[in-house]
Amino acid sequence: MSGHDSKYFSTTKKGEIPELKEELNSQYKDKRKDAVKKVIAAMTVGKDVSSLFTDVVNCMQTENLELKKLVYLYLINYAKSQPDLAILAVNTFVKDSQDPNPLIRALAVRTMGCIRVDKITEYLCDPLQRCLKDDDPYVRKTAAICVAKLYDINAELVEDRGFLEALKDLISDNNPMVVANAVAALAEIQDSSVRPIFEITSHTLSKLLTALNECTEWGQVFILDSLSRYKAADAREAENIVERVTPRLQHANCAVVLSAVKIILLQMELITSTDVVRNLCKKMAPPLVTLLSAEPEIQYVALRNINLIVQKRPTILAHEIKVFFCKYNDPIYVKMEKLEIMIKLASDRNIDQVLLEFKEYATEVDVDFVRKAVRAIGRCAIKLERAAERCISVLLELIKIKVNYVVQEAIIVIKDIFRRYPNTYESIIATLCESLDTLDEPEAKASMIWIIGEYAERIDNADELLESFLETFPEEPALVQLQLLTATVKLFLKKPTEGPQQMIQAVLNNATVETDNPDLRDRAYIYWRLLSTDPEAAKDVVLAEKPVISDDSNQLDSSLLDELLANISTLSSVYHKPPESFVSRVKAAPRADDEEFADTAETGYSESPSQGVDGASPSSSVGTSSNVPVKQPATASPPAPAAMPDLLGDLMGMDNAIVPVDEPATPSGPPLPVLLPSTTGQGLQISAQLTRRDGQIYYDISFENGTQGVLDGFMIQFNKNSFGLAAGEALQVPPLQPGASTRTLLLMVPFQNISPGAPTSLLQVAVKNNQQPVWYFNDKIPLHVFFGEDGKMERAGFLEGWKSLPDDHEFTKEFPSSVISSIDATVERLAASNVFFIAKRKNANLDVLYLSAKMPRGIPFLIEITAAVGVPGVKCAVKTPNKEMVPVFFEAMEALTK
Amino acid sequence: MPVAASAIYFLNLRGDVLINRLYRDDVGGNMVDAFRMHIMQTKELGTCPVRQIGGCSFLYMRISNVYIVIVVSSNANVACAFKFVVEAVALFKSYFGGAFDEDAIRNNFVLIYELLDEIMDFGYPQNLSPEILKLYITQEGVRSPFSSKPSDKPVPNATLQVTGAVGWRREGLVYKKNEVFLDIVESVNLLMSSKGSVLRCDVTGKILMKCFLSGMPDLKLGLNDKIGLEKEAQLKSRPAKSGKTIELDDVTFHQCVNLTRFNSEKTVSFVPPDGEFELMKYRITEGVNLPFRVLPTIKELGRTRMEINVKVKSVFGAKMFALGVVVKVPVPKQTAKTSFQTTSGKAKYNASIDSLVWKIRKFPGQTEATMSAEVELISTMGEKKSWNRPPIQMEFQVPMFTASGLRVRFLKVWEKSGYNTVEWVRYITRAGSYEIRC
């Protein structure tokens, strides 16, 4: 039997709101109740029923608990939009909080805490004070959570009224559920405060451990999670805690089990007895395995965590590899994670079994899974030397099936195997060459070409094979072009006969004259010069012995791993990322709009440049962009010259020579992104960013001396870049004492020494001082620093411009992670970067903004931004006569709308 | 931080909101739009149950024709969040009396709002025991022992029950006849290679209990597991009885079981909730008795014909029998015509799952049955890729048989009034994921 509430969703033709209003004011109880239900139904489907506020609130004073709850639900949803009217409800709340029925007292306090209206908050304090001391544990446990709610709205009020102390008293409450909720509330308050509020002493520890035995499953999770911050004093205490927590491993609730595992792993660090540690590992394995029989979503969470656990303690599940074998009907996300763990657990002992499994998976339907299985075989080969041969024979068997993507994946991993075990398995090259013509993916092609080049002397028809690839050279992706270039040079050096000579001519010509890709061109020039000046030196460089690669299946570095293990069972452990990288809320930072947020950042963070508040995360993006040329040929590229062009050499050739230091300057502002971390700079840390002020472009740069001595004589140079940016004055940095830091603005002038090719945002910088070697680092040029103050267009001009440009000059791009929380704020922020607002219109629930900007030399950008307010995902369309600028432009816009 | 949710949404397959509840202020109002845009309307759906979009993380599960989406913006406890969803669904089902789907949600939305308010506060899960919640959250649409009473006059001590040490049982229950029903339900999971070697095999079992007992009884359950028996022998200082013992790899218990006591004494003692519940789950990998052996031979005769021969042997006691045996043999998509011969049961070709489905209603122990089939395929041009053979799957139930060999040795009931109880025990073994590669 079930309810028939669906009737409340049906609407009548007549004006709905007036009709509801009438019913809400009916003299009959039942009719009023039905009306409130209809209002809630309308609210659920997204209709705006806020205009009925007064009428609904009038129904609040009722004996009927069900009706009261519905009215409260309505209040939670609409109080914010009607703060003045919400006051009407206060009296009832206060009265309810003194009701003889504990359910009603608790309901009143619980609901009041959910209404985030300042005026109501004031009235909440007295009832809350009473309820924290209520005789009924149900009311106390509700009041405990309410303190956390209030702290979120008004932290000061909570501290002033002494609620924190009251909350701490509740830890000693005789009711375990009250204790659990108090712990949850305190832990949350501690999370958002920088001051120590909730510190677990050995006294509270024993109380919490006792409560653990008695409270509900969820309460156990709260207590265990808060205990995970506790640092045991010594091994004995750690053992004691572990002993009390271990029984939780048998709980049916997966969250209890994972939180218990978290504590045990943390405390194990302190335990010195190897017997105890071994015993604990033995105890943890079965519960972890049992998690794999839960719902697939829970399995996924468990597998992501197990992935971390086996990296830290490989012995725990060393004998359980079979439980990670994939079932045919497992969801794909479960299969992928199982595979990852199988690689980690693979050992000489079980490799035969594991290989049989991988081989089986490689014939399944899902392409991504099949690829991953093939890759897994390669990773096992690299990881387990003694099994390498067996892995290779499995790979060869798979190649023989001739399924296109299996072959390609196999070739990619075989290339890695060659690098791991040089001069061992080259006999299989002939088999690989048979599949040459099936290759159509860049990575597989590049791998095959690398193999041909590397072993040119052993492949009789290497020149023919390479030649077949060369025919399509101009159409190939950059990755393949680079490999072809290097492989041809290798071939020529190994077999300097006529055929290869012609090939090398053709390739070098192609790669220098007919390409726009600076990486390719620069590499080609280097080879060319090397070959023409000193072929022997070229041999030394190009055919140099490569370092042997190693297994990467334990990728996480130990400090990150420890941090993630301390976060077992949370999102952090699922993403394998530290919490601060995805949680936007910063400690104690007031809730504010973006601009206000930037303000507080300016005052609060000037000394912590590592916090990239602007969200552009420049350090990471620089990391990837600088990786691009280096990463893909990593297995093949000859060392130093090609990968890292001699920056200073190029710099010397430029007009503006290195300029000496003059006088100091100390601007302040938001923290700058770190470009040269102190670990790389031998103690010197450099943070910098391009900015535009008063119509000029400046390089806002700061130096921090973490070395033992004084650093002086700072000089800076910029490599040729797409915008010809160069220093317009001397860098002025005073001698830096150890531990001191300085920040300065360096005037920049554009269009000095423009590097040809498609514009990129890459800015290569060299900095030197008298004490250290020259430091090179990469920065990004945010295009908007060029946007002029004169970029505002009139409506008519915009429309005309838009029409006059052909359609192939229009480009669109999605920024999936950008959110526009308020149109006005976004417009203002864009205007601050000289992107000017022209008009806006609404299209269904989407807002469309029209904007304009202008680069020097009269390049206009006509911009259309489409987004729904508050929903992540922004679409940006642009029309401009200068198509080449578009990628860089989108980069800048994405940063600006973040 | 043990927070499990900032908001919870119930959506239908089209993405319409059926019900939502915001618990915290840190996620925006139209998070559903983001979910619809970036997950529901893309290939992302089903590729990963935890996704980050913008500053928020979405954790979602599909249950029948409903998506339950949890949105969080902090580093929430994911395990807790998913477990909460699972438990909440179980709670709703117990209130609706069975199904949980779009219609059930619409028909009970007032009740669900009320429950959502009660079972989670500010993102922290509270008491989710149906037994207790039904004491004070009642609706006309609900079968409840209290439905005759007016819903706005709750049981006076309800609040003490919610927060009490025995938060899953109410006091003052009276039954004329005190009975306990125990169901031992085992699922056998098997993965066998095409050569007949067992790659993986385990049993996941659960003990379901139905209690109709008066008062506040203390129960103690004894099984024939090795550790429990050894401990008992040690405590009573007498040699362990001989007989079949089994080794449990792992056990998990309902929250009513005293875990500390289990840890020290290896006894399962508890005060049970009233009515039906899952007392414990266990897992066994050693010494599993497989109820069925499957011996397939599949021959591809040229490009258009296949010969399939499957022999199934039952290896449990001759006096027992299996029910509802189904063998699913996958065949290629381009199957055109099939013909069968079976020694028992019926077989047919089911095109929607690309399998031959062979059903045998009753399968006695220590016997065997065979099916031979001929399959004709449509010849396709340029089909280079060979057919990847999915595994044969099997379904069955064998009453009064446990693949693990687990037996209930005793169930003791103590209550201060000293009444007599009647205990009923049933065993059944089912196929979990019973796969034979071919």
Q: Are residues A201 and A111 in the same domain?
A: yes
Is residue A812 one of the residues assigned to a domain? yes
Which H/E stretch holds residue A468?
Answer: helix A462-470
Is residue A335 one of the residues assigned to a domain? no
Query: CA-CA distances (angstroms) from residue A552 to A18, A344, A384?
Result: 68, 10, 12
**Which residues 356-415 of A are in CB contact (within 8 Å) with B?**
356-357, 360, 363-365, 401-403
Q: Are residues A761 and A844 in the same domain?
A: no
Q: Are residues A693 and A822 in the same domain?
A: no
Q: Are residues B343 and B248 in the same domain?
A: no
Closest residue in B to A302 (Cα) is B79
Q: Are residues A496 and A630 in the same domain?
A: no
Is residue B41 one of the residues assigned to a domain? yes
Q: Is A295 on the interface with B (CB under 8 A)?
A: yes
**Length of chain B in terms of residues written:** 438
Q: Are residues B35 and B104 in the same domain?
A: yes
| Nearest residue, CB atoms, B435 vs list A217, A247, A328 | A328
Q: Are residues A710 and A801 in the same domain?
A: no
Is residue B436 one of the residues assigned to a domain? no
| Nearest residue, CB atoms, B108 vs list A5, A66, A364 | A5
Q: What is the count of structural domains for chain B?
A: 3
d(CA B54, CA A657): 45
Which residues lie closer than 8 Å to A423 by C-beta, 6 or more apart? none
Average pLDDT score, chain A:
83
Count A/B contacts: CB-CB distance under 8 Å: 315
Q: What is the CATH number of the domain that holds B59?
A: 3.30.450.60
Contact state of A328 with B391 under an 8 Å Cβ cutoff: yes
Q: Residues A615-635: what's their mean pLDDT?
A: 36
Q: Are residues B74 and B193 in the same domain?
A: no
Q: Are residues B73 and B186 in the same domain?
A: no
- The single-letter DSSP state of residue A644 is S
Cβ–Cβ < 8 Å for B110, A9 = no
pLDDT at B344: 93
Lowest pLDDT segment from A238-247, A482-491, B44-53? B44-53
Is residue B170 one of the residues assigned to a domain? no
Closest CA–CA distance from residue B282 to any residue of chain A (Å):
8
Q: Are residues B13 and B99 in the same domain?
A: yes
Q: Are residues A648 and A747 in the same domain?
A: yes
Q: Are residues B237 and B329 in the same domain?
A: no
Is residue A191 one of the residues assigned to a domain? yes
Contact state of A69 with B388 under an 8 Å Cβ cutoff: no
Number of H helices, E strands in chain B: 8, 23
Token pair of B286 as six digits: 């050693």
Which residues lie closer than 8 Å to A327 by C-beta, 6 or more apart? B189, B191, B433, B435
Is residue A406 one of the residues assigned to a domain? no
Q: What is the pLDDT of residues A690-734, one digit of tens each?
A: 888 878 888 888 888 888 888 888 888 888 888 888 888 888 888
Q: Are residues A771 and A795 in the same domain?
A: no
Q: Are residues B236 and B93 in the same domain?
A: no
* Residue closest to A9 by CA, chosen among B88, B118, B102: B102
Q: Residues A613-640: what's their mean pLDDT?
A: 36
Which residues lie closer than 8 Å to B404 by C-beta, 6 or more apart? B186, B203, B205, B246, B282, B284, B287, B288, B289
Q: Are residues B17 and B147 in the same domain?
A: yes
* Residue closest to A117 by CA, chosen among A95, A141, A149, A92: A149
- Which chain A positions have a beta carbon within 8 Å of B251's beta carbon? 250
Q: How confident is the model at residue A665 (pLDDT cuts 50, 70, 90)?
A: very low
Is residue A53 one of the residues assigned to a domain? yes
Contact state of B200 with A218 under an 8 Å Cβ cutoff: no
Is residue B437 one of the residues assigned to a domain? no
d(CA A588, CA A741): 26
Is residue B172 one of the residues assigned to a domain? no
Q: How confident is the model at residue A97 (pLDDT cuts 50, 70, 90)?
A: very high
Q: Is A603 on the interface with B (CB under 8 A)?
A: no
Q: Are residues B332 and B194 in the same domain?
A: no
Q: For residue A592, is pLDDT > 50?
A: no
Is residue A56 one of the residues assigned to a domain? yes
- Which chain A positions have a beta carbon within 8 Å of B47's beta carbon? 332-333
Domain boundary among the residues A495, A520, A543 is at: A543
Is residue B1 one of the residues assigned to a domain? no
Q: Is A571 on the interface with B (CB under 8 A)?
A: yes
Q: Are residues B266 and B321 in the same domain?
A: no
Is residue B438 one of the residues assigned to a domain? no
Query: CA-CA distances (angstroms) from residue A139 to A100, A102, A146, A274, B163?
Result: 12, 6, 10, 47, 10
Q: Are residues B347 and B210 in the same domain?
A: no
| Nearest residue, CB atoms, B283 vs list A290, A579, A871 | A290
Q: Are residues A734 and A792 in the same domain?
A: no
Which is higher by pLDDT, B409 or A624?
Answer: B409
Q: Residues B335-351: what's their mean pLDDT?
A: 93
Q: Are residues A777 and A794 in the same domain?
A: no
Q: What is the count of structural domains for chain A?
A: 4
Q: Are residues A764 and A716 in the same domain?
A: yes
Q: What is the CATH number of the domain that holds B357?
A: 2.60.40.1170
Q: Are residues A622 and A495 in the same domain?
A: no
Q: What's at A825, amino acid-wise? A: A
Q: Are residues B276 and B423 in the same domain?
A: yes
Contact state of B252 with A872 under an 8 Å Cβ cutoff: no
Is residue B171 one of the residues assigned to a domain? no
Domain boundary among the residues A781, A814, A833 is at: A781
pLDDT exceeding 70 applies to what percent of chain A?
A: 89
Q: Are residues A759 and A821 in the same domain?
A: no
Q: How confident is the model at residue B157 (pLDDT cuts 50, 70, 90)?
A: low
Q: What is the pLDDT of residues A765-810, one digit of tens each?
A: 888 888 887 888 888 888 888 888 888 888 888 888 887 877 777 8
Structural domain span for residue B97: 7-163
Is residue A86 one of the residues assigned to a domain? yes
Domain boundary among the residues A525, A543, A561 is at: A543
Contact state of A252 with B17 under an 8 Å Cβ cutoff: no
Q: What is the CATH number of the domain that holds A102?
A: 1.25.10.10
* Residue closest to A566 by CA, chosen among A834, A268, A265: A265
Contact state of B121 with A142 under an 8 Å Cβ cutoff: yes
Contact state of B154 with A101 under an 8 Å Cβ cutoff: yes
Structural domain span for residue A139: 5-231
Q: What is the pLDDT of residues A285-329, one digit of tens each?
A: 999 999 999 999 999 999 999 999 999 999 999 999 999 999 988
